[in-house]
Structure 1
């Protein structure tokens, strides 16, 4: 039952923050931010908000600073939207999913290239000994 409540609260916080960011903050440092996930502790006192930023490293850093500066205002906004007695503290964490996905794509591309190279070598390979070294049952032994 506690996990359901955590999940509902996390989902509601994600929606509230995303809606507020969609309306815009009055901070020119904030880039195109997407809230990817929210995780709430078991005691519902702390929420970790994971986000990604579309753009280069400079935009990611400036957006992180803007989110840190707006944490109090966003927490107040979440409090109004939750109608809860206690509002969890918010911590914004840059989500590493896009970088990890890019790295995985690169590894998969390398693996495909190596597989194609091995398949090319295997296609022109010849047996070292007999073509079929395994013993077979002859008709007269059956």
Structure 2
């Protein structure tokens, strides 16, 4: 139980620190600070690996370019985390695109397009 709280705490800390790096430290032009947000960080139980989920706003080509930029700065992010967070070993970082927000928006748009006449459950017999 205590280990899961530690993993959660470290995940939260890593999310905050990387978010701060995106705003002020990562200089790669492909990573637009206003276009990227960290949605979640999943840590392995041994704190050796961190999967950083990012939501990227923009076209598919912009998203691909941003992911390339994030992957290119992975070593910088890990090194910076090592200086900011006191852990025995700095975890390996892996950026993963999180498309759940986009899927949610699409689902809401589909639901909003349904009118009562299209829905067989609301029709009177």
Task: Could you tell me which runs of 5 or more consecutive residues in structure 2 were left unpaired when the two chains were aligned.
Answer: none
The superposition leaves residues 23-58 of structure 1 with CA deviations (integer Å, 9 ceiling, x where unpaired) of 042211112210110010111110000001121111
2:49 matched residue in structure 1: 46
Pairwise CA RMSD: 1.8
Task: Map 1:92-131 to 2 at 5 A.
Answer: 92-110=95-113, 112-113=114-115, 115-117=116-118, 118=120, 122=124
Task: Could you tell me which runs of 5 or more consecutive residues in structure 1 were left unpaired when the two chains were aligned.
Answer: 126-142
2:88 matched residue in structure 1: 85
SS of 1:12's equivalent in the other structure is: helix
Greater CA radius of gyration, 1 or 2? 1
1:16 matched residue in structure 2: 17
1:61 is aligned, of 46, 60, 64, to 64
TM-score by length of 2: 0.87
